[in-house]
Amino acid sequence: MTRYDYINGHGGQIDAMARAFPNAPTPWLDLSTGINPWPYPLPALAPEAWARLPGEQARINCEVAMAVAFGCNPGVCRAIAGTEMVIRQLPNVLHSRHIALRSHSYADHATTWDVAGAELREVERPLELVDEVDTVVLVNPNNPDGYRWTLAELEEVRGRLAQRGGWLIVDEAYADLDPAASMAPFAGREGLIILRSFGKFFGLAGTRLGAVLAPPHILASLAERFGVWDVSGPALALGAEAYADKAWHEATRSRLADAATRLREVLANEGLQDVGGTDLFRYVKTGDAQAVWRRLAHQGIAVRRFEDQSTALRIGLPPDAQALSRLARALAASG
């Protein structure tokens, strides 16, 4: 194993990258995550948010703002301290044994169900297995290739699963980019669990905030596992304000779309084949992705590579024109 073989599981491992490539120029340019490089401006939070345990009203305020932004009933929306904790609890809540997932997707879903002892079937078209499994797990739009399922497809599958007591789990980590493609208006129906992330679109991953949309009995089961104060007071206060800021949402969607267009132009000019993604990252193919990844790393630029995909990379948005030019020069130098 080389000094960098372990840098695969997630993006954002800049400390590990710096150790693996000690001669790379600094500061590092981290394009390995799908996080908005222009975060929501931090408001001045009331001192009580920091000084007191979060009360019921703080949770209600955040969940109502979330539900309005998502387009669902607040009664089927629960704020959580990041979706990872829900992903890890769902096998204990649902007790499903046969799981269908899309191959080449967010790996934590498959890893969690595998650890729980479930039988996994990772295929390109998991919806085709709906009559053969207990639960279908999708990331929509998919990470890393941006593949999307339609609402009609998803609702049809949910109904078929629900008839047998099964579940459709939809991880909508990037749904804030296009709310019209979200299953949130269907939230609360049997057989449907939706995960929403705060940190990616709002650019504040350190807040550790998200939401789970599900029937009340599922939310109650999760609440028993997480306890009363699983989400911090500052996170609830920040979420309540950020989710209510519709003007920022619209301006940010436009800004991200423009930035993604500029990134696609640079990637095309340097010979990388853009085959998908979202407005927060692009998924590209190249002859030897591992070699390109290493050459960029030697130049202090981190992008996302994949253990099981020798020709694919995921590249996030550079934060400014200087960073975009740096990426273009590094790609040109890497051949």
14-38+248-333: CATH, from 3.40.710.10, 3.40.30.10, 3.40.50.2000, 3.90.1150.10: 3.90.1150.10
Task: Kindly report, residue by residue over 51-99, the tens digit of the pLDDT.
Answer: 999 999 999 999 999 999 999 999 999 999 999 999 999 999 999 999 9
Task: Kindly report, residue by residue over 205-252, the tens digit of the pLDDT.
Answer: 999 999 999 999 999 999 999 998 999 999 999 999 999 999 999 999
Give dist(CA 251, CA 162) in Å, integer: 38
Question: Kind and range of the H or E element at 82?
Answer: none
pLDDT at 308: 84
Band of residue 11 on the pLDDT scale cut at 50, 70, 90: low
What beta strand segments (E) does the chain contain?
A: 29-30, 77-80, 98-102, 119-123, 135-139, 167-172, 192-197, 210-213, 273-278, 281-285, 301-302, 304-306, 309-316
pLDDT at 307: 86
Give dist(CA 159, CA 166) in Å, integer: 9
Please state which CATH number belongs to domain 47-244.
3.40.640.10
Residue 3 has pLDDT above 70, yes or no: no
**Mean pLDDT computed over every residue of the chain:** 95
Q: Where are the domains of the chain?
A: 14-38+248-333, 47-244
Shared fold status for 14-38+248-333 and 47-244: no
Arithmetic mean of pLDDT, 145-157? 98
Task: Report the percentage of the chain scoring pLDDT > 70.
Answer: 96
Task: Kindly report, residue by residue over 171-205, the tens digit of the pLDDT.
Answer: 999 999 999 999 999 999 999 999 999 999 999 99
Task: Kindly report, residue by residue over 95-124, the tens digit of the pLDDT.
Answer: 999 999 999 999 999 999 999 999 999 999
pLDDT at 13: 85
